[in-house]
A and B are shown apart, each in its own frame.
Chain A
C-alpha cells in the first residue's frame, strides 16, 4: 500500500469523517474522537451529508458503485482542511483505494486532492500535530491490535506511541501481532470459515497475554473479534484507542465526566 503523501495539510480546523461503522454502531468512538481533537485545540466540522468512504463496494470489486460513493464523499468534503478519520481502514481507502479505482477516470485530480487531505486519527495527532505524549491516566493492561490498514502507513506506530505514553497503561505484546484478524469486510461473510479461523487464532494470542482490554484503531476488526468471542461465550472487552485517550483525559481531570 502506498504511504500517505508527505505534504498533507496540517491545520487545527479539521473536517471529520466519522465512518459508517461509527455512524451505525460505535457512536462513542466517534464521540471520543471529537473530544480528543478538541482537547488538542482543534475545531471540528462534521459535514452532515457524509455517508461512507466507499470501501465495501471497492473491496467487493464493484468499482463503479464505489466510485459513486467516493464522488459523493469528495463533494461533501470539499475544501482544503485536513480530513480526520478514526479508522486506519477508511483512511487507507481515501489515501490508497480511491486513487486506484479512479486511475482511468476523468475526475482523478479531484479524488487525488481528497486523498491528499486524509489523515488517520493517530497519524494526525502524532505526525501531524507533533503530540507524542498523552496526558492523563488510564490504569489497564492493553493488547493493541495493529490493523492491516496500518501497514505501510505510520498509524500503527503512532497509536502505540500514544498508548504507551499514558500513565498507567501497560501495552501487552502478543503472538503473531502482525497477522490479520480475519475481518476483511465482505470477506468475513464470503469466507466465513477462514475468517473465523483467523479470528480465533488472533483471540487465542490476545487471551494468552491476559489484557484488560483489546484496543485498535479500527472498529471493524474489534466488531469481528468481539463478535466471535461473545458468540463463543467468552466475551472480551474492546475499545477504540480514541476512547482510551478520552478516558485518560477524564481520569486525569482534564475533561468533564
Chain B
C-alpha cells in the first residue's frame, strides 16, 4: 500500500527500469568518489569552498547581476531579463521572429525544460530540435527526462531502438554504436539547416562576462559553429565571481556529474564572432531567467540556489534509486528536486508536498554535493513550512498528541506501561502507522518500562 505518489511509482516501476537506474547510478557514484578522493587530498574541503563561493554569489546577486550585464554588453552580447517562464520563451521567439528564423537547434539546458521551451516554440511554428542524444531520444519519444545529467537513464537500448525504428531512423538495431551513428547522421544536416543555436550555460563569470559550457557530445559547439545566432538561456544563479573560480568548479562538476576529470568539451565563450574569427554566430543573446528563483532567494531554503546541476545527489540517493526520476513529477528529480521543485512550483506546492518527505534524511546527498548544500536541512525546513501552511499531510502521521505525551513524564510512563497491549491486540485494531509498519515488518515484543524497573531494582546499583 502506498500513501505517497513517489512510493507508488517505486512500487510500479518495471524491474528492468529499476535495475538500469540502480546499476548506472551506483557505478557513477562509486567512480565519482574514487576519482575525487584519489585526486585531491581533501576533497571535502574543496566542496566546502565551492559552496562558499556559490553562497556568496546568491547572497550578492543584486551586485553581480548588473555587473555581469555590463560585461556581457561590453563583449557585444545582448542581454534580456525574464521574470517568468513565459517571458523567457517569448524572448527566444522574439529574437527568432526578428531574424525571420524558423529553425532552432538546442543543446541540453535544464532551465529550458523548466520553461517548456521546445513545446512553446513548436506551438509557434518553430522547428525545434534537441541535439543532446538523450534529449533527442526524449523528444522523439514524447517522453520526459528522468535525470538532470542523463535524461534517458530510465530507458533500455532496446526501447531506444524501437523508437528509432518508429521514427524512421533505420530498421531495429539496439547496438549503442549504431544508434549513436544514426543520430549523428540525422543531426548533422539539422545543424547546417538551423538558423539559431540555443544553449544553457554552466557558469557565467561576472568579472569577464565569460560563458562556460560543458558537454560530452560536442553538440553545443556544433550548434554555435553552424548557426548565425546564439541564444543562451541561463538561470540567474549561474554566476561565478571570477575566472579563477572556474578551475575549482569545473573540476568538481565533471567528477560529480559523470566521474570524469573534465568533460570532453569545455567551451569558453566571450561574445559573438569577432572580425578576426572565421566561424561563429554574428549575434549573441543571453536570457537571464528568474522563474521563481528570487522567491527561493527570499526563503530560508536559498542555499539550494548554489546547485550546479551535476546530479550527484540523484546518483547516491537510495530513494531516487528505488523510484527513478519520473516519480518526482517535475523537471528536477532526486534530492535537489525534492527541495527545488516544490519551491519553484509556488502555488502548486501542495501537489508536490510529498517531495520533501521522500527522504529518509540519510544525508548522502549533502555528503556528495560539490557545493555542499545542506539538502537534509532544507527538506526538513520545507516539511515544517508545509505543516505551518496546513498543506497536505502526504501520509505523515500527526504528532501533536504524541508531543503532549512526550512532554508529560507521568503520562509517558503510564503509556510505556500500557503499551504492552501492542503485544496482544489484533492488527486490525492497531493505529494506522503501526499497522502500516506491520504490513512488511514484524515488531519486537513491547518491553515498555522494563529498563526503568531494572535500574530501580538492581542489587548492584552503584550510584
> In angstroms, how far is the closest chain B Cβ from the Cβ of A244?
18
A63–B398 CA distance with the chains assembled, in angstroms: 12
A195–B432 CA distance with the chains assembled, in angstroms: 17
Measured between beta carbons, the chain A residues less than 8 angstroms from B380 are 58-59, 61, 97, 100-101
Tell whether, in the assembled complex, residue A184 and residue B363 are in contact, meaning their CB atoms are under 8 Å apart.
Answer: no
A25–B416 CA distance with the chains assembled, in angstroms: 10
A177 located at the interface, meaning its Cβ lies under 8 Å from any Cβ of chain B in the complex: no
Shortest Cβ distance from B443 into A: residue: A227
A227–B386 CA distance with the chains assembled, in angstroms: 31
A65–B11 CA distance with the chains assembled, in angstroms: 32
- For residues 364 through 399 of chain B, which have their beta carbon under 8 Å from a beta carbon of chain A? 364, 366-367, 376-377, 380, 382-388, 394-399
Measured between beta carbons, the chain B residues less than 8 angstroms from A231 are 440-442
A58–B357 CA distance with the chains assembled, in angstroms: 12
- For residues 310 through 343 of chain B, which have their beta carbon under 8 Å from a beta carbon of chain A? 318-319, 322-323
Shortest Cβ distance from B435 into A: residue: A189
> In angstroms, how far is the closest chain A Cβ from the Cβ of B316?
9
> In angstroms, how far is the closest chain B Cβ from the Cβ of A163?
22
Measured between beta carbons, the chain B residues less than 8 angstroms from A180 are 318, 360, 362, 364
Tell whether, in the assembled complex, residue A151 and residue B363 are in contact, meaning their CB atoms are under 8 Å apart.
Answer: yes
Tell whether, in the assembled complex, residue A25 and residue B447 are in contact, meaning their CB atoms are under 8 Å apart.
Answer: yes
A56 located at the interface, meaning its Cβ lies under 8 Å from any Cβ of chain B in the complex: yes
B436 located at the interface, meaning its Cβ lies under 8 Å from any Cβ of chain A in the complex: yes
CB-CB under 8 A for A63 and B448, given A49-B409, A180-B318, A189-B397: no
CB-CB under 8 A for A52 and B406, given A27-B447, A38-B462, A256-B460: yes
- For residues 1 through 46 of chain A, which have their beta carbon under 8 Å from a beta carbon of chain B? 1, 18, 20, 22-27, 30-31, 34, 38, 43-46
Tell whether, in the assembled complex, residue B442 and residue A68 are in contact, meaning their CB atoms are under 8 Å apart.
Answer: no
A-B contacts at CB below 8 angstroms, number: 219
A87 located at the interface, meaning its Cβ lies under 8 Å from any Cβ of chain B in the complex: no
Shortest Cβ distance from B450 into A: residue: A27
Measured between beta carbons, the chain B residues less than 8 angstroms from A183 are 360
A113 located at the interface, meaning its Cβ lies under 8 Å from any Cβ of chain B in the complex: no
A107 located at the interface, meaning its Cβ lies under 8 Å from any Cβ of chain B in the complex: no
Measured between beta carbons, the chain A residues less than 8 angstroms from B448 are 23-25
Interface flags, B239-268, vs A, CB<8A=1, else 0: 000000000000000000000000000000
Task: Name B's interface SS.
Answer: helix
Tell whether, in the assembled complex, residue B357 and residue A192 are in contact, meaning their CB atoms are under 8 Å apart.
Answer: no
B215 located at the interface, meaning its Cβ lies under 8 Å from any Cβ of chain A in the complex: no
- For residues 429 through 463 of chain B, which have their beta carbon under 8 Å from a beta carbon of chain A? 432-433, 436-437, 439-452, 454-455, 460, 462-463
B307 located at the interface, meaning its Cβ lies under 8 Å from any Cβ of chain A in the complex: no
The size of the chain A interface, using a CB distance under 8 A, is 75
Tell whether, in the assembled complex, residue A193 and residue B360 are in contact, meaning their CB atoms are under 8 Å apart.
Answer: no
> In angstroms, how far is the closest chain A Cβ from the Cβ of B25?
12
Measured between beta carbons, the chain A residues less than 8 angstroms from B385 are 61
Interface size class of B (residues with CB under 8 A): 35 or more
Tell whether, in the assembled complex, residue B407 and residue A71 are in contact, meaning their CB atoms are under 8 Å apart.
Answer: yes
B402 located at the interface, meaning its Cβ lies under 8 Å from any Cβ of chain A in the complex: yes
A139 located at the interface, meaning its Cβ lies under 8 Å from any Cβ of chain B in the complex: no
B361 located at the interface, meaning its Cβ lies under 8 Å from any Cβ of chain A in the complex: yes
Interface flags, A134-169, vs B, CB<8A=1, else 0: 000000000000001101100000000000000000
Tell whether, in the assembled complex, residue B361 and residue A192 are in contact, meaning their CB atoms are under 8 Å apart.
Answer: no
Tell whether, in the assembled complex, residue B360 and residue A51 are in contact, meaning their CB atoms are under 8 Å apart.
Answer: no
Measured between beta carbons, the chain B residues less than 8 angstroms from A57 are 399, 402-403
Tell whether, in the assembled complex, residue A226 and residue B444 are in contact, meaning their CB atoms are under 8 Å apart.
Answer: yes
Measured between beta carbons, the chain A residues less than 8 angstroms from B356 are 61
- For residues 92 through 150 of chain B, which have their beta carbon under 8 Å from a beta carbon of chain A? none
Tell whether, in the assembled complex, residue B440 and residue A196 are in contact, meaning their CB atoms are under 8 Å apart.
Answer: yes
B358 located at the interface, meaning its Cβ lies under 8 Å from any Cβ of chain A in the complex: yes
Measured between beta carbons, the chain B residues less than 8 angstroms from A24 are 416, 419, 446-448
Tell whether, in the assembled complex, residue A23 and residue B451 are in contact, meaning their CB atoms are under 8 Å apart.
Answer: yes
A66 located at the interface, meaning its Cβ lies under 8 Å from any Cβ of chain B in the complex: yes
B185 located at the interface, meaning its Cβ lies under 8 Å from any Cβ of chain A in the complex: no
> In angstroms, how far is the closest chain B Cβ from the Cβ of A191?
4
Tell whether, in the assembled complex, residue A62 and residue B441 are in contact, meaning their CB atoms are under 8 Å apart.
Answer: no
Tell whether, in the assembled complex, residue A189 and residue B363 are in contact, meaning their CB atoms are under 8 Å apart.
Answer: no
B425 located at the interface, meaning its Cβ lies under 8 Å from any Cβ of chain A in the complex: no
CB-CB under 8 A for A190 and B3, given A61-B386, A182-B318: yes
Interface centre among A50, A56, A180 (most CB of B within 10 A): A180
Tell whether, in the assembled complex, residue B444 and residue A31 are in contact, meaning their CB atoms are under 8 Å apart.
Answer: no
Q: Which of B362, B405, B443, B463 meets A184, CB within 8 Å?
A: B362
Measured between beta carbons, the chain A residues less than 8 angstroms from B400 are 62, 65
Measured between beta carbons, the chain A residues less than 8 angstroms from B386 are 61
Measured between beta carbons, the chain A residues less than 8 angstroms from B412 are 51
A65–B400 CA distance with the chains assembled, in angstroms: 6
B226 located at the interface, meaning its Cβ lies under 8 Å from any Cβ of chain A in the complex: no
A20–B448 CA distance with the chains assembled, in angstroms: 9
- For residues 37 through 89 of chain A, which have their beta carbon under 8 Å from a beta carbon of chain B? 38, 43-46, 48-52, 54, 56-63, 65-66, 68-69, 71-72, 76
A83–B445 CA distance with the chains assembled, in angstroms: 28
Shortest Cβ distance from A186 into B: residue: B396
CB-CB under 8 A for A62 and B387, given A57-B403, A183-B360, A184-B361: yes
Measured between beta carbons, the chain A residues less than 8 angstroms from B366 are 1
B10 located at the interface, meaning its Cβ lies under 8 Å from any Cβ of chain A in the complex: yes
- 16 CB contacts below 8 A, A to B, read A30-B451, A46-B452, A61-B356, A62-B399, A66-B403, A101-B380, A148-B362, A176-B26, A179-B362, A188-B360, A190-B354, A190-B394, A191-B319, A195-B440, A198-B360, A227-B440
Q: What 7 A-B pairs are tightest by C-beta distance, nearest first?
A: A61-B383, A184-B360, A227-B441, A65-B403, A180-B362, A49-B409, A27-B450
